[in-house]
Structure 1
Amino acid sequence: MPKGTNQKLKLYRLAQIMLENTDDEHYITMPEIMEELGKYEVTADRKTIYADLRDLSVLGIEVEGEPIGNRYHYRVVNRPFELPELKLLVDSIQSSKFITEKKTNTLIKKLEKLVSKYDAQRLQRQVYVSGRIKTMNESIYYTVDAIHNAISENKKIKFQYFQWNVKKEMELRHGGAWYHISPWGLSWDDENYYMIGYDAEAQLIKHYRVDKMLHIRMSDESREGKEHFKKLDMADYAKKSFGMFRGKETSVKMLVNNSLAGVIIDRFGKDVMMIPEDADHFRVNVDVHVSKQFLGWVFSLGEAVKIIGPDEVVEQMRGEARRLMEQYGE
């Protein structure tokens, strides 16, 4: 019997048909497979298609056949991603402020190709991107890639940094001066993506919003600051910095109502020591970068949290309280 037409494309098209049309709940029969192949002008007899279905395993596509009635039904099993995993990725992409709406939709479309057309519809129901607060910096992908490349090659990077002005225009900071920084890592905090690096000129560890970095390029100079980052725990650094605003690192003692135990654990982790004070309160010591953002976080928790030490931080909180009274008092 003739081999059929377009044999070079047969295995590719067969893989495409199986991946798009089958999943845990949807099967396809041999006549349907032959009909789908025909749409691509690929013809073959049943015997060769049976062999091709087995050969798909070489491509990492495992096909299972199950007798139902007087016919076999075929489907793909053990995909690289399960639907709940892809839904989790979709949710993460949607909630990422640093990814533009356009890039968000493009990424989700690519994820849909990893499942059948039926499961792709379930992912589409998850898409509620329009209207969300998203960055407008379309170069974010390339900025992140450039940072990773510089870290891999142990090189500094140069970039310009912008802020938004009252006219909603990008305004380069420091008159458009170039920042020359040694990148050491990326951190996610408060829905934003930050590059953490070493500023040799200031001899400080600093962080920068990735979506506000422009015209990034790799430098010929090797990175500096290795000795500082050897003793820096990136996760611990982010935990201590509220909204990634720096301040003097201090061990702060707080008196907390028992009802906020979950809030403290969510912020500082389960290893935090919570020492009972009385029937309704506990004391906690946490290492934080004391900034207005930290003090604002404490303010937001109301009377259920009180800073009780050290004195300098208590005085800073009193100063903020006085400032607020002056700003909003009659």
Structure 2
Amino acid sequence: MNKNRLLKLLNIFIKYTDEEHFLSMQDIITLLEQEDIFVSRKAIYDDIKVLRENGYDIEIIKGKQMKYHLLNHTFDLIEAKLIYDSINSINFLSSKTTQSLSNKLLDNMSIYQKESIINSSLKTNSKYDNDKTLYILSDLQNAISNAYLVSFNYFDITLDKQKKYRYDKKQYELLPYALVLIQQRYYCIFYSLQHKSFSNYRVDKIDNLIIKNESLEKIPFNLEEYLSKSFKMFAGKPENITIQFQNELLNVVLDEFGLDLLIIDKSDTHFTINITTTITDNFLSWISQFKNKAKIIAPISIIERYKQHLKDILNTYI
């Protein structure tokens, strides 16, 4: 058995066949000859048998002219498209890395599937110039796996589009617990040994990350529960709130909080929910976009805060 020939034959099946596209024996011979491989039909039959015995689902269609195709590519068409679109929509990947990852994916597809995916996908133009965020993600994942403490600087962007480090470039020293992707941005959930609390930081705003190669003992942490009480990754103390919405907003509310949302009351016109989440200005702004179609029912403290939130907006125009 010629291993090089076997590999070339497999690549031909991957590249030129799929569920809807086939090769005749003469097609296979011609493609092998283009690779400077000259071989008999019997040798190709034997190689196809070896590939099939090793798990490659090469189907043989019998007829006046035998046809062959590979059914089990690494990903089927829709799986590959989902991955391709995800890679191309993530803006913190550089154009170079995006292209490299896309090529690795598409190299496992037939030329017909590749063309279909590329022609039906939209690429984002807002790509980063470098892969700094990708490297930081890798280091943070390593720190999470080993329970390592890390230190880093955290910055905002100024009107001049320059970095401005918080706290006079003071290094944060925190223990990373999890990385989560929310609305195409990665956040790292850290635990502060000093403040005994969790907080969220955008990974693309982390700079000068240093891993302290000393494992620490972690406290129990439930990521799903934590995220359910954190509105759009804004930090704060979770509070219980009851809100009434008009029924036309049901799908909008379910999109935000999920199908497991507890609806405590409903009628022909309204439904009421009770949730525990961080009551930030961002959350109050989310409610205010619905105008008179959403109403906070309880508690009084949040109602008063919401009134002040609306007054502050109104005062901007007075």
- Give the TM-score normalised by structure 1: 0.89
5+ residue gaps, structure 2: none
Which of 180, 190, 205 is equivalent to 2:183? 190
Change (3 A) 1:59 1:178: farther
Superimposed CA distance per residue, residues 8-54 of structure 1 (whole angstroms, 9 cap, x where no aligned partner): 52111111111101011111111211111111111211111111112
**Helix, strand or coil at the partner of 1:253:** strand
Higher mean displacement: 264-273 or 114-123: 264-273
Aligned to 2:68: 74
Written as runs of structure 1 = structure 2, the 5 A alignment for 1:1-330 is 7-57=2-52, 60-69=55-64, 71-131=65-125, 133-224=126-217, 226-227=218-219, 230=220, 232-276=221-265, 278-329=267-318
Cα separation, 2, equivalents of 1:121 and 1:44: 30
- The answer to whether the 8 Å contact 1:157/1:181 transfers is yes
- The answer to whether the 8 Å contact 1:185/1:197 transfers is yes
Superimposed CA distance per residue, residues 156-202 of structure 1 (whole angstroms, 9 cap, x where no aligned partner): 22333232121112333333333222111111223311111112123
Superimposed CA distance per residue, residues 117-138 of structure 1 (whole angstroms, 9 cap, x where no aligned partner): 110001111342243x444552
Change (3 A) 1:239 1:190: farther
**Helix, strand or coil at the partner of 1:216:** strand
Cα separation, 1, equivalents of 2:3 and 2:263: 67
**Helix, strand or coil at the partner of 1:328:** coil
Deviation at 1:59, TM superposition (A): 5.3
- The answer to whether the 8 Å contact 1:135/1:211 transfers is no
Superimposed CA distance per residue, residues 48-79 of structure 1 (whole angstroms, 9 cap, x where no aligned partner): 1111112124654321111232x211110122
Higher mean displacement: 266-275 or 289-298: 266-275
Deviation at 1:305, TM superposition (A): 0.7
- The answer to whether the 8 Å contact 1:256/1:304 transfers is yes
- The answer to whether the 8 Å contact 1:101/1:134 transfers is yes
5+ residue gaps, structure 1: none
- The answer to whether the 8 Å contact 1:93/1:104 transfers is yes
Q: Percent identity, aligned pairs only?
A: 30
- The answer to whether the 8 Å contact 1:137/1:212 transfers is no
The one-letter amino acid paired with 2:19 is: D
Deviation at 1:108, TM superposition (A): 1.9
The one-letter amino acid paired with 1:191 is: Q
- The answer to whether the 8 Å contact 1:96/1:191 transfers is yes
Higher mean displacement: 207-216 or 271-280: 271-280
Cα separation, 1, equivalents of 2:265 and 2:196: 41
- The answer to whether the 8 Å contact 1:160/1:173 transfers is yes
Length, aligned pairs only? 318
Higher mean displacement: 243-252 or 96-105: 96-105
Change (3 A) 1:277 1:74: closer
Change (3 A) 1:8 1:168: same
Superimposed CA distance per residue, residues 175-233 of structure 1 (whole angstroms, 9 cap, x where no aligned partner): 33332221111112233111111121232211111122233332122235x22xx2x43
Change (3 A) 1:235 1:95: farther
- The answer to whether the 8 Å contact 1:90/1:126 transfers is no
**Helix, strand or coil at the partner of 1:68:** coil
The one-letter amino acid paired with 1:152 is: S
Question: RMSD value over aligned CA atoms?
Answer: 2.1
Cα separation, 2, equivalents of 1:59 and 1:210: 43
Superimposed CA distance per residue, residues 231-279 of structure 1 (whole angstroms, 9 cap, x where no aligned partner): x432332233223112221110111111111122222222322233543
Cα separation, 2, equivalents of 1:57 and 1:182: 49
Cα separation, 1, equivalents of 2:253 and 2:163: 37
**Helix, strand or coil at the partner of 1:118:** helix
Cα separation, 1, equivalents of 2:140 and 2:55: 32
Change (3 A) 1:257 1:130: closer
Deviation at 1:307, TM superposition (A): 0.9
